[in-house]
Structure 1
């Protein structure tokens, strides 16, 4: 098993799909006998684990929770004598990873988790158009430097600005040892602990970003005989709480510890996911692994992450009436959908993802056609 030096601009204690994927992949890679040191922006709120290497950083003023790390290569990374460099973001520390690959003549693998252009509006509404174009050109330039690009879905493969670099689809995968149905007793204790009323539950957990369109979930659940339970945090949270202030059928849980998530998913009768911009939608996979059907926008990767009529239902992105109808349908069909979700657990396992990732690393290490455009 190779030593893979990972560089990322987002990591713990920031909670999102990228950080969870990196942490899970590292744990499983190391369990197989490999090594995966991680370089990330340091924060006072997180104590690094072994082989995690923080660099000095500053808060990013336009996006809460995101930090700009100094683009440096810790000496411990060079001393680890890596076989491969893997960047999970293309910005400051992604550039540091690219520099290490160039300097040490190592293969460079780059993951495409989130299109940078989607976040242009966080910097400026008026300049979002030009900023999107700049972001797309920059990403194309960055991925052109890599020997392989890793994407989590076929939909992401179709939209990644790869610059001609070979693209490999590797699902983020789910830790199915953790994400499995919880007992009735655990669900009852969870509901008591968070003061969640009896009756059907529709829910969401994850980052509260404006691009997630969670306000549509608030609107769609009006009139449905179910409580909407929302976990997580993010830039849009305060707006969502204000919008739901007069309602007694919406419960905001705030940040949930990862150990609570399987019980949260199990407690739900349907998971609502109106975001049209996902490159995979890790929380949808986690919900499915716990036997909870997902109602998702029929757009981007969620069109393939959720199998219509099998693991949930789709609706046309932006169609709130369609979202309401899909939620009602999922609630009525909950038992059958749950059984179908559980039958797909093995296919979602992160073990399969690590198998595919190992194949990518072997390919670039053994390739005679190393990219020469760096």
Structure 2
């Protein structure tokens, strides 16, 4: 298929089989770019994922402090050379390879700021070194992002955060987008039966069970609410969360990792999605839930401050306010029909097709 779309080389330190917001965005953007006739080869750390056409793994080692993340040799495969734009989805590892390739080929470098890496410093070592790691991460991010011709952020709030880091290059917000053809309301009865979920209201979360997500706040807020909590996903905090749920005598079901095929039914069976994480740069799962007609009760921090439209697609609460979280969940449940209609009305605004339209405009603005 002939196309005048620029050829784009995407570099990421996080890719399949790990499933998270970055891998979802990179793979979805690639698929949509290809559907429009463009080229977007992906360079990623070698793992158990079997590469498909246009995917180029490089040698890597597991990162001991963060499950699912790998440290790659910062190099660009020889097959990835003849491109018009280099797009880095990481400031580390393969982000360095992306910068080198852009310099060598004299083409623009675009960087998407997906993750505030300083917030994950606690995974690297004891408290005594956390501050050092956080400061070092922010200094490196600032240095790297200043070498890009364009920095993209998934939300306005994240754009402001990057500016606060002192990054002087051009910064634009671009929502990563949701595959609204896939994430749409569906009958959740089979999902409920398959996972033996009880009748009555369901409040859920899916994603990484990391300490930075503050999922224990959800367990605390659930006390006194007549609903079953449903957790999809996995992560280092899961065992502790299961123990806490038992101690609090909260009806919580931990389903483990859910295949992508199950997610539309998961979101659709919920009466409310609960999202206490204050470190999101977009909160993609909240948008996926909305696309399935499920409103969100979430913290008024990070990107969730704008991802959730208070009183329209869900309700906010202030960070650390467990009583406020409980109130937000109750209001979301009580007004779920109205909120759900608003969520469905906003599907086009959050679609990945609109994101790709905007992405193309950003690429073309570099010439």
TM interval, short-chain normalised: over 0.9
Please state whether the residue corresponding to 1:197 is helix, strand or coil.
Answer: coil
Q: Which runs of 5+ in 1 are unaligned?
A: 367-374
Q: What CA distance in whole angstroms lies between the structure 1 residues aligned with 2:189 and 2:185?
A: 13
* TM-score where L is the length of structure 2: 0.96
Aligned pair partner of 2:176 in 172, 181, 194: 172
Q: Distance in 2 between matches of 1:306 and 1:103?
A: 42
TM-score by length of 1: 0.94
Q: Paired residue for 1:73?
A: 76
| Separation (CA, whole Å) in 2 of partners of 1:92 and 1:156 | 22
Moved more, 84-93 or 47-56: 47-56
Q: What is residue 16 of structure 2 aligned with on the other side?
A: 12
Describe the SS at the equivalent of 2:192: helix
1:227: Cα distance to partner? 0.4
Return the alpha-carbon distance in structure 2 between the equivalents of residues 319 and 329 of structure 1: 15
Partner residue, 1:117: 118
Of the three residues 30, 35, 49, the one matched with 2:34 is 30
- CA contact 2:219–2:250 (8 Å) conserved in 1: no
8 Å CA contact 1:143–1:162 kept in 2: the answer is: no
SS of 2:206's partner is strand
TM superposition shift of 1:163: 2.2
Shift of 1:9: 0.5
- Post-superposition Cα deviations, 1:257-310, rounded to whole Å, max 9, x if no partner, equal 111111100000000000111111000000001100000100111010000000
Number of aligned residue pairs: give it. 359
Structure 2 residue 164 is matched with structure 1 residue 163: no
User: Secondary structure at the residue paired with 1:73?
Assistant: coil
Q: Distance in 2 between matches of 1:178 and 1:162?
A: 38
The 8 Å contact of residues 11 and 18 in structure 1, kept in 2 or not, is answered as: yes
In 2, distance between residues paired with 1:168 and 1:139? Answer: 16
Q: Does 1:335 align with 2:337?
A: yes
Partners in 2 of 1:271 and 1:262 — Cα distance?
13
1:42 positional shift: 1.1
Tell me the residue number matched to 1:371: none
Partner of 2:56, secondary structure, is: strand
Alignment of 1:200-215 (within 5 A): 200-215=201-216
Partner of 1:149: 151
CA RMSD between the two structures: 1.0
Distance in 1, matches of 2:146 and 2:202, equals: 45
1:84 shift after superposition: 0.3
Match of 2:66 in 1: 63
**Are the equivalent residues in 1 in contact too, given 2:223–2:250 (CA < 8 A)?**
no
Aligned mates of 1:340, 1:205 — CA distance in 2: 22
